[in-house]
Amino acid sequence: MSDETAQPEHWWEAGPIFSTTDRSSKITTIAPGEEIGRFTPGIAVMALLTAASWTGLAFMGYPRLIGADEVSPAFDEPASHWWWIALTVLGVVLMFPTTGGLYGALRKRFRQQSAGLTVCFTAASLGFVVAGLIHLRLTVRYLDSLPPEAPSSERPGTTFLLVLTGLALIVFVGGAVRTPFLLFRIRRRQRSIVELRRSGFRYAGEVAGTEFDRRWVDRWPQFKVTIRYEGPNPENTFDAVMTTQSHRVPLPGYPVVVSVGEQGTTLVEPDPERPGEFDRDYDQYVEPSGDGGGGGG
């Protein structure tokens, strides 16, 4: 795509995003003029579709993952056929757009990485729970149909399947309990940002220095930064954190707007009226392949 037709990158979508209150994947923002994030019916449908895709994938994958001895014998022969493997691969293919679409919608709606990760993990774990329960139900029905004198070699065990389903259930319950509190906290933070933009004392400032943490969250490098601004005191500097895409790491002197509330709450955002420069040597900020991110929070 040529420079003439390329869409401009907005800082709330590509960075840099600063925070004085949150860290890592919990760093939150909201686009200017955007509504406070909320869990819409459309996102709920996407979450159900994501759970359904993981249910299908887990259902097809369990017989091959844990072996035929742990599921109903009705799956012994089908699980070894090419079409079963093909359907499993199809489940993997369908899992990517549903999960990726849900994550993207949540990140755009709530402008925070943690929200998307939490809801996606919760939906995926629900899929594993449902698939495990279906297999357990079918296996129990088969065991009930066996005569009492049937040898133990004909009785599939369910220990491994119970353990996997139990672990998935723990993850699902934890995510389901955490999600409402997480979204409430994000909405409260977004309201604070909107209020600081509207009524906070605004000062011109700049990025005085950056320190790369050598950590990434969803391929976004994480930084500690020092902010300097023209305030009421002779020395107005404070520390903050920053997340951004690797090609948008601000150089010292990058202009920002510092908004200070009556209670001392502080908001740092790029100054739209004063363009700044980014580090052109950005290869050092690109996450190494297979690194795993080292992020979290």
Q: What is the mean pLDDT of residues 257-267?
A: 88
Q: What φ, ψ does residue 242 adopt, rounded to 5°?
A: -145, 140
pLDDT (tens digit per residue) in 76-88: 666 566 666 777 7
Of 155 and 272, the structure prediction assigns the larger pLDDT to 272
Per cent of the chain over pLDDT 90 is 48
Q: What φ, ψ does residue 163 adopt, rounded to 5°?
A: -65, -50
Of 106 and 296, the structure prediction assigns the larger pLDDT to 106
Lowest mean pLDDT among 32-41, 76-85, 173-182, 197-206: 76-85
- Please report which confidence band the pLDDT of residue 245 belongs to, taking 50, 70 and 90 as the band edges: very high
- Average pLDDT value over all residues in the chain: 84
Q: What is the 8-class DSSP label of residue 284?
A: G
pLDDT (tens digit per residue) in 44-89: 999 999 999 999 888 877 776 665 565 556 566 665 666 667 777 7
DSSP letters, 192-258, are: HHHHHHHHSEEEEEEEEEEEEEEEEETTEEEEEEEEEE--SSS--EEEEEEE--TT--BPTT-EEEE
Lowest mean pLDDT among 179-183, 250-254, 263-267: 263-267
Q: What is the mean pLDDT of residues 159-173?
A: 89
pLDDT score for 3? 41
Q: What is the 8-class DSSP label of residue 265?
A: -
Q: What φ, ψ does residue 113 adopt, rounded to 5°?
A: -70, -35
Per domain, the residue ranges of the chain are: 26-191, 200-285
pLDDT score for 72? 56
**Residue with token string 């300097």:** 228
pLDDT (tens digit per residue) in 1-27: 434 444 467 899 888 999 998 888 889
Q: What is the mean pLDDT of residues 231-245?
A: 85
CA distance 140 to 155: 10
pLDDT score for 81? 62
- Indicate the pTM of the whole model: 0.78
Residue 180 clears pLDDT 60, i.e. is over it: yes
138 close to 71: Cβ distance less than 8 angstroms: yes
pLDDT (tens digit per residue) in 106-116: 988 899 888 88
Residue 258 burial (C-beta neighbours within 10 Å; 0-12, 13-18, 19+) = buried
Residue 175 clears pLDDT 90, i.e. is over it: yes
pLDDT score for 5? 40
Residue 277 clears pLDDT 80, i.e. is over it: yes
